[in-house]
Amino acid sequence: MSSGTLNLLIGLAMGLNLLALGSSRLPSLIRAVSLQGMVLGAMPLLMESKLDWRVGLVALATVVGKGVVIPTLLRRAMRAANIERELEPFIGFVPSLLLGAGGTIAAVALAQALPLLPEHAGSLLVPGAIASVLTGFILLIGRAKAISQVCGYLILENGIYLFGLLLIHATPLLVESGILLDLTVGVFVIGIIVDRIQRAFDSLDTRKLTTLRE
At 162, which amino acid appears?
L
State yes or no: residue 77 binds other proteins (CB under 8 A): no
Q: How far is the CB of 118 from other proteins (least distance, A)?
A: 10
Q: Measured from the CB atom, is 8 or 173 closer to other proteins? A: 173
What SS3 state is found at 131? helix
State yes or no: residue 105 binds other proteins (CB under 8 A): no
Q: How far is the CB of 86 from other proteins (least distance, A)?
A: 22
Stretch that binds other proteins, among 1-9, 17-25, 87-95, 150-158 (CB under 8 A): 150-158
**165 to 204: interface string for other proteins, x by CB under 8 A:** -xx-xxx---x--xx--x--xx--xx--x--xx--xx---
**Separation of first and last alpha carbons in the chain:** 55
By CB under 8 A, the count of residues binding other proteins is: 41
Burial class (CB in 10 A: 0-12, 13-18, 19+), 212: exposed
Tell which residue, 130, 132, 117, 107, has the closest CA to residue 39: 132
- The torsion region of residue 82 among left (phi > 0), alpha (psi -120 to 50) and beta comes to left
State yes or no: residue 156 binds other proteins (CB under 8 A): yes
For every residue of 73-104, DSSP letters joined together read HHHHHHHHHT--SB--BSS-HHHHHHHHHHHH
Residues 61 and 64: their CA atoms lie apart, in Å, by 5
Binding residues for other proteins, per CB under 8 A? 113-117, 133, 136-137, 140, 146, 149, 153, 156-157, 159-160, 163-164, 166-167, 169-171, 175, 178-179, 182, 185-186, 189-190, 193, 196-197, 200-201, 206, 209, 211-212, 214
